[in-house]
Structure 1
Amino acid sequence: MSVNDLDEDKAVAEVADRLAERFPSIPRSHVDEVVQSERRSLDGKPIRDYIAVLVEHGAKARLRDEVSADA
């Protein structure tokens, strides 16, 4: 695992933390699943600098939709 991989792992973990705080009604394990699903959807993409931002954007939209559907 390279330093860039470790930086990406840390950034994605921070995304999960922020989203867990933003969506407290959703179990943390589900937030983690959504975040990892979004990350996997970006596997193989050549530019990794923005992965955390893209993961957060996609995961936040999915979680927001889930909260809205439950309301």
Structure 2
Amino acid sequence: MHEVPHHGLTRRQLEYQLSWLMRRRPQDPTKLPEFIGDLVVTLIDRNNVALAAHAAEAARTDLPDGS
């Protein structure tokens, strides 16, 4: 199957990060909304790091075009 070029984390990487973060889910149901909020923010932050790394790589002038 043809892969679509991506700039942030791939779906598989996001799923891995999610499963890693889910290992510490709260036992108390009242803490679940806060946990989900933290989970979403953490995933967005990690994806932003990947986006920034891609942008920095694309902005490098010492590489030939098409790298």
TM (norm. structure 2) is 0.51
How do 1:15-26 residues align onto structure 2 when only pairs under 5 Å count?
25=7, 26=9
Q: CA RMSD in A?
A: 2.1
Partner of 1:43: 25
Partner of 1:20: none
Partner of 1:29: 12
- Preserved CA contact (<8 Å) 2:26 2:35: no
Identity within the alignment, %: 11
1:62 aligns to 2:62 (yes or no): no
Q: CA deviation at 1:59?
A: 0.9
Tell me the number of residue pairs that the alignment of Structure 1 and Structure 2 aligns: 47
C-alpha distance 61-45 of structure 1, shift in aligned 2 (>3 A): farther
Q: What runs of 5+ residues in structure 1 fail to find an aligned partner? A: 1-23
TM (norm. structure 1) is 0.49
Q: CA deviation at 1:39?
A: 2.4
Query: Which protein is bigger by CA-based radius of gyration?
Result: 2
Q: What runs of 5+ residues in structure 2 fail to find an aligned partner? A: 1-5, 56-67
Q: CA deviation at 1:45?
A: 6.2
